[in-house]
Amino acid sequence: MRVGIIGVGLTAFRPSTPEYSWKELMFEAASRAYADAGVDPRADVGSFVTCAEDYYEGFGIFDEFVPDQLGAALRPTCTVSGDGLQGLANAFMQIQTGLIEVAVVEAHSKISDVLTPIGIIEHGLDPIWNKPLGFHPYVVAGLEAAAYLRATHTPTKALDAVVSKTRRNALRNPIAAYGAAVDMDHVAASEARFEPLRSLDISGPADGAVVLVLASDRAARRLHANPVWIRGVGWASDSPSLETRDWAGATYARLAAGMAYRLAKVRRPSSEIDVAEVDDRFSYKELQHLEALGLAKSGEAGKAALRGAYAADGRLPVNISGGSLGCGNVFEATGLHRAAEVALQLRGDAGSRQIDGAKVGVAQAWRFVPSATGAVAVLGAGP
Amino acid sequence: MRKVGVIGAGMTIFRRRLQETGKEMCFEATRMALDSAGLSIGDVDMVVNGTAPDAFDGVHMKGEYLLDGCGGYRKPYTRVFTGGGTGVFSTIAGWWHVASGLADVVLVVNEEKMSSCQPHPQSVFAHIWDPILDRPLKPNLVWIFAMEMNRYMTVYGIKKEDIARVAVKNKRNAVGHPCAQLADANITVDDVLKSEVMAWPVQRLDISPPSDGASAVVLASDDFIRRRRIKDRAWISGVGWCIDSTMWTDRDLVFPEYVARAAKMAYGMAKVRDPRREIDFAEPYDPFDYKELHHLEGLLLAKKGEAPTLTREGVTQRDGDLPVCPSGGLMGVGNPIAATMGMKIGELFWQLTGQAGKRQIPHEVRTGVSQAWGDLMQYGCVVVMRA
Amino acid sequence: MTARVAKWPGVELSAADLLEGKVTQTRFRPDAKYAWSAGEAISRFLEELQAGRLIARTCHRCERILFPPRMFCEECFRPTDAWTYIRDTGTIETYSVSYLDTDAKRISEPILVGVVSLDGASPKMGMMHYFGEMTKDEIRIGMRVRAVWRPAEERKGSVLDIRYFRPLREGER
Ligand SMILES: [Zn+2]
């Protein structure tokens, strides 16, 4: 059974949204997605999935505060404590069982409600091994960046190219919070933070909500929808322990991509994928993830980035949305935002960011520091 | 739709405090479940974790922290979370992993280590309330149960002693459970009625207190079960889940409509037309004694307001016509929130495969239903299993 | 199988094991602070509380008067339509007499707390609050009550601007 994305809804991403509660933010994204899909959530939707973590929200059980603004009151609804793409994968499976025909996936960030975001991220470290050391949690990204750059002989200059390209891409995305004409020199000259990472290598926080409506092929036909097909999904975790994980290779992304490609019957990703949206919440992650996804050979992504291969007019447009560096870090909504962007590209609805002739795209996300978990979705244009 | 069976289950003992870390508890329950199914971790395609508020264990993104203990290392691994509903909901998520065709064998591992939270796990529950409407009133979790119980008692004219019978039955049933924290062979209705008043009408023995524990079950597709010639299996024939509105002060708490919707969804899938006749035994969620009664009505196993009568008449005893919580339930075994899967899904598996030992229902049972409840009086999930 | 398992996993600790340092513990207090945006509906609700009034939103499709107010109707899944004031009198839907405080510590003077459905809103729509000027023996479900407000200068835009609900007096409506 094929499963398609029949509705896409996004709010603008902004560093803070004091005028809206998280409920009103979710309501806006949901309303847009239902209008886009032409569905009534009270009549047409069989299941709702939200992706959230309690400490990001400031609740003991955030699931309580989800249904009303999605149209999900007295309906099958659940929380996946994961990235939006893991939520997408679960909705995909629900439909594959045949029990559910139309499912809604929501993810959001209201990180501006959190006064101590770094304190929260630090709270994700191992309580016995790591927390007593008292380090800033982004040190984990610094350690990984150093390991990756060294293992792959990638020059730091490649990170400058990633940041410059992606922040510029965001200028063409009306929802982006951090679009800017940043040059490679600016990046290189930005303040050192977590060696080798500098301030411009790190995405800034943003609020925003994303909702996708998924349907079986039969339901999509009945609803006269124009689906973008989910050809494959994959998700995987490496060790949660900082002491034993693979620091250089993003194993979680390699395993997740392997699963998604297997389902999608993608054998040679580097020649079959037309557009890629990969997690770049730290600049090196874009390169590391491209290699883990088989879109560049190990050690080649940095060189290709310096050649402009990942620009809008390059061999493989990457993070044409503006990525997280340009749109902002929307935490658990990161992957769902990327799936939404790929869906818009494959539908030809990406406005001034539109890539010509894109038929197959991949969206990938990671669960951010300190996790080693990630997910991948391969999407294909209709019919 | 692919057929999915439960082929193994495991759990730790439930205690106020366990020495093991959360990861270690998960490991022990997982290993026991795999052993009982005769599988190794290499046979497992995917892992689902269920665990309730992060603040109990004291780790943000608790699912990530627990994952190696759950056997999730380098596998597709997801945590689901529906408050107290997680005790049954994670199995529903495991079900769709297999029924979708994406996995043949899925481990479902639930954990709660409430003792890590100091000075009392109760302080976590302050954060389940609306920050603007409720939290300024400094609510205690017991309040909401007290308010729901009072409404239920008042509308139907139910006596406290009829509710106390549930506590007595379950604590006595738990005597046969090797993991039980709260078993008591000699407890009486009078003991419950004379226990300390916490938040009237809730008294100390109406409540299952916080606990540490983990549980695990193994789910597999019918192909796999046939191929491996696995004999001890119980089939998941219906699943249902439902959430009600966040606005709990706008609802009549007298009836759990969300449980009824979840039950109808599960019965529909399992082709159960007359639940009272077709369901042989039940494991409804019983963190408080009245909750068992409330949920029996939500599960359509008793008419509204009549569950206390079934209890009084002995129908819900282990040797009655409709045994309810033969495991001893949360009231008797303990309440490490998500880990109560050991009594809900685990007990159904053990009863339906004749492995429940001293707790085995004396007559033949072929169809069981388990249910969990969660969030702020708003979440119901239901699983129907058959031998 | 359970019948065959001789030893079920887990090692129980007593409170004494902790106090006597027989097991090691690591301590950590997370730096977790929040300031939630109240949003359109609840911001207005809080402003009105400060002014000593209760406000609701109406949905023209299902014709309900929604309290506490929200900008969208969860039943119809559409934006709500208009503001409307409701009364500060109501009916006790349910209650508890609590001898526990927030942290489950015992208190001798019980807290009377419950849900009040408010007059002027749709049936059963209300809020949780305290009850006062009545004893634990007098309080009952169905009792008619009225809000006791803090003096205007003490109000802060919080549900605590109402001190509690008291019984409606003879002849009062
Ligand atoms: Zn309405």
H helix or E strand, kind and range, residue A338? helix A334-347
Q: How many domains does chain C have?
A: 1
On whether residue C29 sits in a domain, the answer given is no
Burial, B308: exposed, middle or buried (Cβ in 10 Å; 0-12, 13-18, 19+)?
buried
Please tell me whether residues A90 and A168 are part of one structural domain.
Answer: no
Domain for residue B57, yes or no? yes
CATH of the domain at A22: 3.40.47.10
Cα of C80 from ligand 1 centre, angstroms: 7
**DSSP-H helix ranges across chain C:** 15-19, 39-50
| Cβ-based contacts of A121 with chain C (< 8 Å) | none
Q: How far is the CA of A27 from the centre of ligand 1 (A)?
A: 14
Measured distance CA(A86)–CA(C152) in Å, rounded: 50
From the CA of C81, how far away is ligand 1's center (Å)?
9
Choice among B126-135, B313-322, B333-342 with the minimum mean pLDDT? B126-135
Looking at CA atoms only, how far is residue A117 from chain C in angstroms? 8
Query: Region B291-298: what's the mean pLDDT?
Result: 98
pLDDT in tens, B20-71: 999 999 999 999 999 999 999 999 999 999 999 999 999 999 999 999 999 9
Mark whether A270 and A350 lie in a shared domain. Answer: yes
Range of the domain at B53: 4-119+209-386
Does residue C2 fall inside a structural domain? no
B128 assigned to some structural domain: no
Number of domains present in the structure of chain B: 1
Residue-wise pLDDT for B345-354, tens only, equals 999 999 999 9
User: Residue A319 and residue A294: Cα distance in Å, rounded?
Assistant: 16
Q: Which of C74, C76, C78 best tests the A interface by mutation, with the highest count of A CBs <10 A? A: C74
What domain count does chain A have? Answer: 2
Q: Is the pLDDT of residue B242 over 60?
A: yes
Other Cβ atoms less than 10 A from the Cβ of C21: the count is: 8
- Residue B119, pLDDT score: 79
CA of A7 to the centre of ligand 1 (A): 23
Residues A63 and A79 occupy one common structural domain:
yes
CA distance A103 to A219: 11
Percentage of residues of chain A with pLDDT beyond 70: 100
Q: Is C100 on the interface with B (CB under 8 A)?
A: yes
- Residue in chain A lying closest to C35 (CA): A113
Cβ neighbours for A341, distance < 8 A, ≥ 6 positions apart: A277, A320, A321, A350, A363
Number of C-alpha atoms within 13 angstroms, CB side, residue A337? 34
**Do residues A259 and A288 share a domain?**
yes
Residue located via tokens 């297997």: A262
Asked whether the beta carbons of residue A22 and residue C37 sit closer than 8 angstroms, the reply is yes
Task: Provide the Cα torsion A284, A289, A292, A294; round to 10°.
Answer: -110
Q: Is there a single domain that holds both residue A197 and residue A212?
A: no
Q: What is the mean pLDDT of residues A108-125?
A: 97
Q: Which residues of B touch C56 (CB under 8 A)?
A: none
Q: What angle do CA B369, B375, B380 make, to 5 degrees?
A: 25
Q: Angle B141-156/B289-298 helices, nearest 10 degrees?
A: 60
User: CB atoms < 10 A from the CB of C13, how many?
Assistant: 17
Q: Give residue A285's domain range.
A: 137-205+231-380
Residue C102 has pLDDT above 80, yes or no: no
What's the gap in Å between B28 CA and the centre of ligand 1? Answer: 50
In C, what residues contact A, Cβ < 8 A?
A: 26, 28, 30-42, 70-72, 74-77
Examine residue C172 and state whether it is found in any structural domain, yes or no. Answer: no
A19 touches chain C (CB under 8 A): yes
C96/B199 CB distance under 8 A: yes
Is B136 part of any domain? no
Q: Is the dihedral of CA C78, C79, C81, C87 positive or negative?
A: positive
Which residues from chain C sit within 8 angstroms of residue A104, using beta carbons? Answer: none
Mean pLDDT value of segment C132-148: 98
Report yes or no on A34 lying in a domain.
yes
3-state secondary structure of A296: coil
**Structural tokens at position A109:** 């960030």
Centre of ligand 1 from the C-alpha of residue B160, in Å:
38
Q: Are A80 and B242 inside 8 Å of each other by CB?
A: no
Q: Tell me the Cα Rg of chain C.
A: 23
Residue C130's nearest CA partner among C151, C118, C145 is C145
Confidence bin at C2 (pLDDT 50/70/90) = low
Are residues A236 and A319 located together in one domain of the fold? yes
> Which residue of A lies nearest to C74 if distances are taken between CA atoms?
A68
| Chain B residues within 8 A of A63 when measuring between CB atoms | 81-83, 243, 374-375, 379
Q: Is residue B46 part of a domain?
A: yes
Q: Do A246 and A111 share a structural domain?
A: no
Domain assignment of residue A216, yes or no: yes
The reply to whether residue B81 touches residue A81, judged by beta carbons under 8 angstroms, is: yes
Contact (CB<8Å) A73/C33: no
Is position A286 within any domain? Answer: yes
- What local confidence, expressed as pLDDT, does residue A104 receive? 98
**Same structural domain, A87 and A141:** no
Q: What's the CA-to-centroid distance between C67 and ligand 1, angstroms? A: 12
Q: Tell me if B192 is assigned to some domain.
A: no
Q: How far is A168 from chain C (nearest CA, A)?
A: 31
Query: What separation in Å is there between the alpha carbon of A13 and the centre of ligand 1?
Result: 29
Q: How confident is the model at residue B125 (pLDDT cuts 50, 70, 90)?
A: confident
pLDDT tens track for B185-225: 999 999 999 999 999 999 999 999 899 999 999 999 999 99
Q: Measure A15 CA to nearest chain C CA, in Å.
A: 13
Q: Of the candidates B82, B26, B183, which has an alpha carbon nearest to the alpha carbon of residue A61?
A: B82
Residue type, position A61, single letter = I
State the pLDDT at residue C159.
98
Q: What is the residue-averaged pLDDT of chain C?
A: 94
Distance from CA of A129 to the nearest CA of B (A): 12
The CATH number for B317's domain is 3.40.47.10
**CB A83, CB A186: distance < 8 Å:** no
Same domain? For A172 and A211 the reply is: no
**B378 neighbors B82 (Cβ within 8 angstroms):** no
Q: Is B54 on the interface with A (CB under 8 A)?
A: yes
Provide the pLDDT for residue C103: 77
Q: DSSP string covering A192-205, please?
A: EEETTEEGGGBPPB
Q: List the single residue in B with minimal CA-CA distance to C102.
A: B140
Q: Can you give the residue range of the structural domain that contains C132?
A: 40-167
- Nearest C-alpha in B relative to C123: B250
Q: Which of B31-35, B106-110, C6-10 has the lowest mean pLDDT?
A: C6-10
Chains linked to A by 3 or more Cβ pairs within 8 Å: B, C
Asked if the Cβ–Cβ distance from B139 to C93 is below 8 Å, we say: no
Q: Is residue B131 part of a domain?
A: no
A342 φ/ψ sector (left φ>0, alpha ψ -120 to 50, else beta):
alpha
Instruction: Give how far A47 is from chain C: nearest CA, Å.
Output: 15
pLDDT (0 to 100) of residue C3: 60
What are the pLDDT digits (tens) for A265-285?
Answer: 999 999 999 999 999 999 999
Which chains does chain B touch, 3 or more C-beta pairs < 8 A?
A, C
Angle between the N-to-C axes of helices B257-270 and B289-298, in degrees from 0 to 180, rounded to the nearest 10: 50
Chain C touched by A217 (CB under 8 Å): no
**Residue B132 to residue C38, Cβ atoms within 8 A:** yes
Asked if B127's CB is within 8 angstroms of A60's CB, the reply is yes
- The answer to whether B55 contacts A54, with C-beta atoms less than 8 Å apart, is yes
In tens, the pLDDT along B372-382 reads 999 999 999 99
CB contact under 8 A, C36 and A22: yes
Domain contains A39: yes
A296 and A170 in a common domain: yes
Rounded to the nearest angstrom, the distance between the alpha carbon of C35 and the centre of ligand 1 is 29
Residue A215 inside a domain? The answer is yes
Distance C77 CA to ligand 1 centre (A): 7
Whether residues A222 and A247 share a domain: the answer is no
**Model confidence, pTM:** 0.98
Cβ-Cβ contacts under 8 Å, B112 against chain A: none
